[in-house]
Structure 1
Amino acid sequence: MAIASLGTVVLDCPDPHALAAFYAGLLGGEPVPDGDTWVELKGTLLAFQAAPGHVPPQWPSADHSQQAHLDLTVEDLDAAEAKALDLGAKPLDAEDRDRTWRVYADPAGHPFCLCAC
């Protein structure tokens, strides 16, 4: 029997409003702010929290681990990539076009993957 359920995945970032808008563009949902330092993305399990002095993870790097990343399932990898790049994503490891997944960083530097379903 489980003793807990997943409530929300929270990403630290320098600008929670901007990062919530980025993920709303990728995943849908509506950013719902709670002050200047917290934004939840309604309809998802994501929230964004201001972290002064935020240092983004580096991928791949043993010294600055990614700590965690999101795998986002998409139907059309090329179309999803174009949309993610338009929203401000940066490719980290998207050169291998034969794989069923590609790695990017969100505008705050958190790694995420687009994965073909």
Structure 2
Amino acid sequence: MIGKLQCVVLDCPDAGDLARFYQALLGGAVNRSDPRWAVGDGFATLHTGDGLVFAFQRVAGYRAPRWPDQAHPQQFHLDLDVGDIDRAHEQVLALGATLLRVDQAGWRVFADPAGHPFCLLG
């Protein structure tokens, strides 16, 4: 092993807004005190209850991915297990997500408010 994952960093147009979106989706604390990062207008963190850390950094001229358009590739995506996919579907829409596709297997592909794809798996 060469290293240990510290956090996943997502580029976005508004770091605080996207951190709060993922907080509502995953739980946890936005901008919890942590000596590894300096948070501010252009950088926010989310420490989840299960120990995952996400960071969000503002990028001037941010260009959102357009899944599945490879001219604007997705860059990464998250798969999230949910207990009730229909309820989770409504909840993420209410948070500002956009439905991109419902797969034949029943999982659903959404975009977060900054355009990053994520999937709900029931």
Are 2:57 and 1:57 aligned?
no
Shift of 1:86: 0.5
Structure 1 distance, partners of 2:114, 2:60, is 12
Shift of 1:63: 1.2
Structure 2 distance, partners of 1:9, 1:101, is 23
TM-score by length of 1: 0.91
Structure 2 distance, partners of 1:62, 1:35, is 32
| 1:41 paired residue number | 46
User: Aligned to 1:91, which of 89, 95, 99?
Assistant: 99
Shift of 1:54: 0.3
Structure 2 distance, partners of 1:84, 1:29, is 16
| 2:121 paired residue number | 115
What RMSD, in angstroms, separates the aligned Cα atoms of the two structures? 1.3
Shift of 1:114: 0.7
Q: Could you list the runs of 4 or more consecutive aligned residues of structure 1 that deviate by over 6 angstroms after TM superposition?
A: none
| 1:80 paired residue number | 88
Structure 2 distance, partners of 1:35, 1:64, is 28
Shift of 1:25: 0.5
Structure 2 distance, partners of 1:64, 1:10, is 18
Percent of pairs identical after alignment? 50
Count of equivalent residues: 113
Shift of 1:106: 0.2
Structure 1 distance, partners of 2:63, 2:17, is 16
User: Which one-letter code corresponds to 2:81 in the other structure?
Assistant: T
| Unaligned 5+ runs, structure 1 | none
| 2:28 paired residue number | 29
Structure 2 distance, partners of 1:72, 1:38, is 24
Structure 1 distance, partners of 2:57, 2:84, is 30
